[in-house]
Chains A and B, each alone.
Chain A
Amino acid sequence: MVRAEAVHKRYGLLEVLRGITLEVAPREVMCLLGPSGSGKSTFLRCVNHLEKINSGRLYVDGSLVGYEERGGRLHELPEREVCRRRTEIGMVFQRFNLFPHMTALENVVEAPVLVKKEPRAVVTTRARALLDRVGLSNKVDAYPNQLSGGQQQRVAIARALAMQPKLMLFDEPTSALDPELVGEVLDVIRALAEDGMTMIVVTHEIGFAREVGDTLVFMDEGVVVESGVPREVLANPQHERTKAFLSKVL
């Protein structure tokens, strides 16, 4: 579903990604772990082309992200095409980023109607079902500022799912939450994994990575330090850097 080949990303002189190579299979849940500044979020943002990569190749569902290869050269994709591809990738942010001027239901309904031109009635039915699925059927008419952080994040997940994506990206979905609200969001993500959604989850929740992740990737300073089955990597880290990190967070 996602294939990265030696992906590099620079901001000016700062090299944030220094050759990321990894592959996410369909229905796989990959957890990205690592200290802050290691490039996890940047990599996630490259996958849906919120950031442009400087070198390497990044494929989602078999096609290059942001470019098209014709006659041996890369051509930038027009905005229309970049946006069409983004509709197939859902993203959930650390700070929720719900639209504050819309109710929970309007947040979920907005993009499928506006972007995919689906009939509003159809989308509304689907949106209500999604809000019900994330346990918020009694909050459909609430504005984001009337919801707790955990509730907002669950609306944000429903909003991403309403586009019926093939791939979900989670950028530290529980980092901005009060500890007691983390569970309700992780439960939703876990249920999604059980339904077979392909996901990349940047997280600091080691327990979640162990339980739900199919693969765990440990990143540091823009490279993949090690990866493998979460239980094995966590129990028996091979690299000093991984050991040092895990000894602090476990």
Chain B
Amino acid sequence: MDGLTAAEQREFQAVVERRQMREFMTMYSNLVQRCFDDCVTDFTSKTMNNKEEGCISKCVEKWLKGSERMGQRFAEQNAAMMQSGGSLGGAGR
């Protein structure tokens, strides 16, 4: 990401924004999947019961808080790794 000119950076920024939308949709559908799998187990009714609803909202909130926390740690680790000269692929580039 270092050697880009200003014009290239703008173009790359547009690429990043397109991907962010896609990332968001993926995160959303994964979260639906996760919370559904973990919370919804009773099929004696076609609507969610109170316990399931409570579980879903806690599941969503916890995931959001957890992924925010992991995001912070990830950024720190990544920065430390860059400083020590490595990159995520392992090969020093």
The answer to whether A binds B is no
Q: Which residues of B are in contact with A by a Cβ distance under 8 Å?
A: none
